[in-house]
């Protein structure tokens, strides 16, 4: 299926960056200055102590996403950028949500509500991580669609508080077996990054593509 340039699509972008102070601020500032709509932005450590992986979920058309990749690649700490649009990948979002169990109908109705919430939790393979007289705290990880579906089902009971980590993603298989990416933008060797600014990067530490 071809991607119409005017169609707004969800793109998951991975950016490998060097561990330097202010990198997250630079990336967030770039998006804010250009009015890009970020659905989520997560940064975390990798197996290489000198590198971190940013996972950015952006909603936009092909032209907007192309601008995002180009602007990201211009930042000095960014080693490589990959759009997972044409890659089979696994994504996960982690949520903690407090759901009310108390009911004006009395203890019996409260017990029924609590039982119903526990049943939903089990169906979604979530975990109850805290219990109080007024509610339950539930931990759930999965795709955005799975988490949104769970939220819609527990909302009638009363969502007291909710927190989500945002999306992290990784391509299926290994880098050697991943399909080539026309959408990626890699910094060529001998580029303008000062030698003292970044670590020596092993190609196997890069996202596939």
* Percent residues over pLDDT 90 in the chain: 43
SS3 label, residue 131: strand
So what's the pLDDT on residue 71?
Answer: 83
Query: Which of 46-50, 103-107, 193-197, 202-206 is predicted most confidently?
Result: 46-50
Domains of the chain, earliest start first: 9-88+172-205 (3.30.70.260), 91-168 (3.30.70.1150)
**Mean pLDDT value of segment 66-90:** 85
E strand intervals along 152-191: 159-171, 185-186
Reported confidence tier of residue 143, pLDDT bands at 50, 70, 90: very high
- Sign for the CA dihedral angle at 43, 13, 31, 29 comes to positive
What SS3 state is found at 114?
helix
Contact 48, 205 (CB under 8 A): yes
Q: What is the average per-residue pLDDT within 62-85?
A: 84
Average pLDDT, the chain: 81
For 12-16, 56-60, 182-186, which range has the lowest pLDDT when averaged over its residues?
A: 182-186
- Give residue 89's pLDDT: 92
> How many Å apart are CA 55 and CA 30, to the nearest integer?
15
Q: Rounded mean pLDDT of 197-208?
A: 46
Instruction: Tell me how crowded residue 16 is: count the other CB atoms within 10 A of its CB.
Output: 20
The confidence band for 92, taking pLDDT boundaries of 50, 70 and 90, is very high
> What confidence score (pLDDT) does residue 98 get?
97
Residue 196 pLDDT > 60: no
pLDDT at 36: 77
Q: How do strand 185-186 and strand 51-60 relate by DSSP bridges?
A: unpaired
Minimum mean pLDDT range among 70-79, 158-167, 175-184? 175-184
The C-alpha atoms of residue 106 and residue 126 are separated, in whole angstroms, by 27
């Amino acid at each position: 299926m071809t991607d119409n340039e005017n169609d707004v699509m969800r793109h998951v972008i991975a950016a490998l960056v060097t561990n330097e102070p202010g990198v997250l601020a630079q990336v967030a500032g770039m998006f804010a200055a250009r009015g890009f709509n970020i659905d989520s932005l997560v940064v975390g450590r990798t197996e290489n102590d000198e590198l971190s992986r940013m996972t950015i979920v952006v909603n936009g058309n092909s032209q907007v996403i192309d601008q995002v990749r180009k602007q990201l690649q211009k930042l000095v700490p960014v080693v490589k950028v990959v759009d997972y649009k044409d890659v089979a990948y696994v994504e996960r979002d982690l949520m903690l949500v407090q759901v009310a169990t108390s009911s004006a109908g009395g203890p019996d109705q409260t017990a029924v509500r609590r039982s119903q919430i526990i049943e939903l939790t089990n169906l979604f393979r979530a975990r109850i991580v805290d219990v109080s007289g007024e509610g339950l705290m539930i931990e759930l990880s999965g795709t955005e669609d799975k988490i949104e579906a769970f939220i819609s089902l527990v909302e009638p009971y009363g969502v007291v508080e909710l927190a989500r980590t945002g999306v992290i993603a990784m391509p299926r298989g290994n880098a050697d077996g991943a399909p080539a990416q026309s959408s990626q933008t890699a910094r060529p060797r001998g580029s303008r990054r000062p030698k003292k600014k970044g670590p020596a990067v092993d190609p196997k530490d890069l996202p596939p593509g």
